[in-house]
């Protein structure tokens, strides 16, 4: 941990309720008297904006896309993550480089190579929470049935992303959270995990 700061990352495939849990966990740390910074990737900075726009227009090559995510993250680390941790704050992120391993891994890059590139400049979090849900339930939550060609591809990709996230589950800083329950039940589970080691 950096100077009393605490760095928590919440990851998982689309539809697992990450942003709700980031919000709730932030509120909980504030109720404990901590200073909290909530953020997300892609960010609202120039590189993050470009990558979000490309999701609609589909114009980036896989190489460009990977490069944009890395540029976005470099800026995020320098401008927000590192200074906040150095100031002793609790930093909670909705997605980080584990999403690059999963999503760009699904698009043909080696997840371990992506990890190596990121860990050359991006601090490893104190705790990684993987919000886990089977792909059928996740697709239902995001309002997709998975039965058109496009949706079928999405299903296959999410399945692969889930596998890449779960491949991290045995590492010491990683906990998998089952998200089948209500948002409140999931939040309780998250707080139980935090209480066992991270406060």
Sign for the pseudo-dihedral over CA of 67, 73, 76, 82: negative
| Segment interacting with ligand TYD (CB under 6 A) among 75-83, 84-92, 97-105, 175-183 | 97-105
User: Which residue number has the CB closest to ligand TYD?
Assistant: 103
34 or 154: whose CB is closer to ligand TYD? 154
Q: Which of 16, 19, 22 is nearest to 37 (CA)?
A: 22
Q: Are 15 and 133 in contact (CB under 8 A)?
A: yes
Q: How far is the CB of 100 from ligand TYD (least distance, A)?
A: 3
103-132 binders of ligand TYD (CB under 6 A): 103-104
> What is the bridge-based pairing of β-strands 127-132 and 174-178?
parallel
Site string for ligand TYD, 53-72 (x = CB under 6 A): ----------------x---
67 or 87: whose CB is closer to ligand TYD? 67
Site string for ligand TYD, 4-43 (x = CB under 6 A): ----------x--------------------------xx-
Number of H helices, E strands in the chain: 10, 5
How many residues make contact with ligand TYD (CB under 6 A)?
9
Give the span between the Cα atoms of 199 and 195, in whole angstroms: 6
Query: Which positions ≥6 away from 75 have C-beta within 8 Å?
Result: 43, 45, 46, 47
Footprint of ligand TYD on this chain (CB under 6 A)? 14, 41-42, 69, 95, 99-100, 103-104
């Amino acid at each position: 941990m950096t100077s009393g700061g605490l760095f928590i990352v919440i990851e998982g495939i689309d539809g697992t309720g990450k942003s709700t849990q980031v919000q709730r966990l932030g509120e909980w740390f504030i109720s404990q008297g901590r200073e909290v910074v909530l953020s997300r990737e892609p960010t609202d900075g120039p590189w993050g904006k470009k990558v979000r726009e490309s999701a609609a227009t589909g114009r980036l090559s896989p190489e460009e896309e990977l490069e944009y995510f890395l540029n976005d993250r470099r800026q995020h680390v320098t401008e927000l993550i590192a200074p906040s941790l150095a100031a002793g704050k609790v930093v909670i992120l909705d997605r980080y480089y584990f999403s690059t391993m999963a999503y760009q891994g699904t698009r043909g890059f080696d997840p371990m190579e992506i990890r190596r590139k990121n860990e050359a400049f991006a601090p490893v979090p104190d705790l990684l929470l993987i919000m886990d849900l089977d792909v059928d339930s996740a697709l239902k939550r995001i309002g997709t049935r998975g039965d058109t060609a496009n949706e079928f591809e999405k299903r296959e990709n999410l399945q692969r992303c889930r596998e890449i996230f779960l491949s991290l589950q045995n590492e010491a800083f990683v906990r998998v959270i089952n998200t089948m329950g209500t948002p409140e039940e999931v939040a309780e589970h998250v707080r139980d995990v935090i209480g066992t080691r991270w406060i």
